[in-house]
Amino acid sequence: MMPCSNALTILSGMKVTKVRIGTGSQHLNRLRHNRREHEQEVRAILQAMADGSTDGRLDEAGAEELVEHLYQLKHWGKGLQVLKDGAEAARWSSHHEHPHRPQNSGNG
């Protein structure tokens, strides 16, 4: 089992104790449901890796196509593009040259 599953097992045991004390079982049920989903996803990933599936690999052209597809999303596309543009602008603004001004050590 994956390390994350071990943590979920520990948390699940802690939640059982809390439920016995009286905090309610809805949270415990959600935690167990999340654990089952996580384990199912891990099994799917491990199976895909074992099969040698290459469906998830992207080359440069595939990545560009995926990015353009994301930008076309109805609700989030424009926000993603604005976020990317802002990150690029911030990155480039921090790369301008700064003049070096030596500090006077007071000895001369």
Which tokens hold the place of 20?
């016995």
Where in the chain are the domains?
3-51, 60-93
pTM, 2 dp:
0.34
Cβ atoms < 10 Å from Cβ of 8: 19
Longest dimension (CA), the chain: 77
**For 42-96, what is each residue's pLDDT tens digit?**
898 888 778 776 566 677 888 888 888 888 888 888 888 898 888 888 877 766 6
Binned at pLDDT 50, 70 and 90, residue 40 comes out as: very high
Taking the alpha carbons of 85, 92, 58, 39 in that order, is the dihedral positive or negative? Answer: negative
Instruction: Give dist(CA 89, CA 103) in Å, integer.
Output: 31
Please check whether residue 11 is in contact with residue 31, taking contact to mean a CB–CB distance below 8 angstroms.
yes
Q: Is the pLDDT of residue 1 over 60?
A: no
Q: Return the pLDDT at 75.
A: 83
Q: Is the pLDDT of residue 22 over 60?
A: no
- What 3-state DSSP class applies to 21? helix
